[in-house]
Amino acid sequence: MKELKHLLAHGNEVRLGNRRLDPFRLKQMFNNYFEKDAEKSRKLKQKHEELSLEYGLSQLFSPKQKELFQKKLKGELLTKTEKEYFSRTVKKKVAALANPELHRLAQKLMEY
């Protein structure tokens, strides 16, 4: 292993049996594999975060409330009725979610 490591580190050709391996190609294949694996992991993590957020929103808001929440978050214009509904219901829930003391207590409860 030490010899193989030394050969690769210095860019020397590696011989395995009667085969010759180019160190540049070996490094390139390894890097390509590593990048693909990292990209796959990143996409999986992103998908998990999206689904987790969607699940959390579904626990607190009705479908219409989630829609208004998303519209407001994106800065889209709300109709007069939507504005009134948002301020009467959704905004109160959002204010409670934004309360750091409530968040701290919820985390404490989840520790059991």
Give the domain ranges of the chain.
Answer: 1-60, 61-112
pLDDT at 57: 93
Query: What is the value of pTM for the model shown?
Result: 0.57
pLDDT at 13: 83
| Number of neighbouring beta carbons within 10 Å of residue 14 | 14
pLDDT at 21: 83
- Residues (pLDDT < 70) of the chain are 112
pLDDT at 112: 62
pLDDT at 34: 87
Tokens at residue 77, please? 């214009």
